[in-house]
Amino acid sequence: MLAFMPLKITIIGAGGFVFPFRLIGDFLSFPALRSSQLCLMDIDPDRVARTARAARELASHHGFDTDIVDTTDRREALRDADVVIITFQVGGIESYRHDVEIPRRYGVDQTVGDTIGPGGVFRFLRSVGAYDAIVADALELCPDAQFINYANPMAMATGFLNARGLKTVGLCHSVQGTTRMLARTLGIPYDEVNFVSAGINHQAWILKFEHNGEDLYPRLRETMHALHQRGRGARGLLSDEGDHSEAAADASNYEGGNEQVRTAIMETFGYFQTESSHHASEYLPYFRKNPQLTAEFIPERWDYFEICSSHDEQGDIDQQLERLENELAPSVEYGATIVNSLATGAPSVVYGNVPNTSLITNLPADACVEVPCLVDRNGVQPTSVGELPVQLAALNRTNIGVQELAVRAALTGDRENVYQAVALDPLTAALLTLDEIHAMTDELFDAHAPLLPAALRRYGDVGGTPAS
């Protein structure tokens, strides 16, 4: 049996309505992690206390002696932490409302708005102050901690944290969800599939998909073309309320049902993308030019802002608690797998978002890329993929440009980089003139002013200083 060491695992943003408690269930599913300390931190004392109560009830139900601490003190949460997990969204639902409603008035309709585009850029920028505060404390209190970022926009946030000096891997469930969906579609047991994926978060590519040495791509192209033709319409899909990281038994309205967009991308560029058709339609200029075209590709809309606005937070936790009390098993998330490997040395393979240290040779060196990573007691060790097919690298670079400029704006305080980032977004550029983009970005600056770094506020904004 592998020896293991108890860890201090800190979750910042532990008051979130679904995700933090699911992670806690994942941690408790690994025997080696049950003797760790779970330190739950949030700026809202009631929300973090709610998560802690459910966590203690879960641990008690299964007879675990896990030390579960809840606090609103960030420094106490970070002190001597071995692993720090970031799960928060700065500004909550009201700030998120600005991200989607202001661009929509200009004709830029985002189903999520958390990755690139105007929504993704400003979700990131209003989080920079919180990231900087965490960095300052962490470099003093837990400089060797492994940071795991689950917050979107994944590439911007993870790239920024690494640039600030924190050892950070960004995690998502796109690769796990997509490969499971493709295996179900082809009727192949998932544990018999061999695959490789690489690219950037929410726009990585399934480069290899095999079963017993057989290349599955010919079958995949034929099957997806037959199932997901443009204009076919919805197919009586299962509803999806936003918790889509589990392995769904059937096609939902999030993933596996409305796949006209990803099928069209594959038919033109040769490979399947790792994020849902709803998300994928936001990252490229081809699918959301007008409502009629959008409905042809996505006949049943999945709107994450509407889902978030209608969540019953206590009900969500109660449902998760009941499920985990009946059957304690990990989800498809990689976070607990990483922490278990750090604690025990048991090797694992995850897909992580990391700095591009020559991992994908035809993407920029300062990009944040998503690649296979080996994990053991030595930490998260990204593997080199080499060159992507040239057309896939070209698509990735259209998104990386937005990400690079947003991160540069956060690091330098240059407001012009924000306008440039939004102007380079492929969907925004396909719909708006430069004057319209400038006006929309000004509205977003004004709406988010209280949460933006001082250097990025316009003169006269709350706490603002003259722009340089």
DSSP string, 223-273: HHHHH--TT-----PBP--S---S--SS-BTTTBSS-HHHHHHHHHHSSEE
Which of residues 49 and 254 earns the better pLDDT score? 49
Residue 354 pairs in a beta bridge with 369
State the average pLDDT over residues 350-377.
Answer: 97
Q: State residue 464's pLDDT score.
A: 40
pLDDT value for 249? 59
pLDDT of residue 67: 97
What is the pLDDT at residue 462? 47
pLDDT of residue 310: 76
Whether residue 186 is predicted with pLDDT greater than 90 in this model: the reply is: yes
Counting residues of the chain whose pLDDT is more than 90, the rounded percentage is 84
How does residue 231 score in pLDDT terms, banded at 50, 70 and 90?
confident
What local confidence, expressed as pLDDT, does residue 317 receive?
A: 87
Residue whose entry in the numeric block shows the structure tokens 């980032």: 421
Q: Where are the domains of the chain?
A: 174-302
pLDDT for 247 equals: 47
User: And the tokens for 302?
Assistant: 């999945």
Q: Which pLDDT score, from 0 to 100, does residue 236 have?
A: 63
Mean pLDDT of the chain: 92
Predicted confidence band of residue 5 (pLDDT cuts 50, 70, 90): confident
Residues with catalytic roles: 173
Lowest mean per-residue pLDDT among 118-122, 267-271, 452-456, 460-464: 460-464
Q: With b meaning 16 or more CB within 10 Å and e meaning fewer, what string describes 358-389?
A: ebbeebbeebbbbbbbbbeeeebebeebeebe
Using 50, 70 and 90 to split pLDDT, how confident is the model at 255?
A: confident
Q: What is the pTM of this model?
A: 0.94
Looking at residues 290-298, what average pLDDT do you find? Answer: 94
Q: Among 75-89, 195-209, 426-440, 452-466, which stretch is predicted with the lowest mean pLDDT?
A: 452-466
Residue 296 CA to residue 233 CA, distance in Å, equals 7
Query: What is the reported pLDDT for 300?
Result: 85
Distance CA 235, CA 228 (A): 10
**Residue pLDDT, tens place only, 115-167:** 999 999 999 999 999 999 999 999 999 999 999 999 999 999 999 999 999 99
Are 223 and 188 within 8 A, CB to CB? no
pLDDT score recorded for residue 468: 27
Whether residue 2 is predicted with pLDDT greater than 80 in this model: the reply is: no
- Mean pLDDT (whole number) for 227-242: 74
384-396: average pLDDT:
98
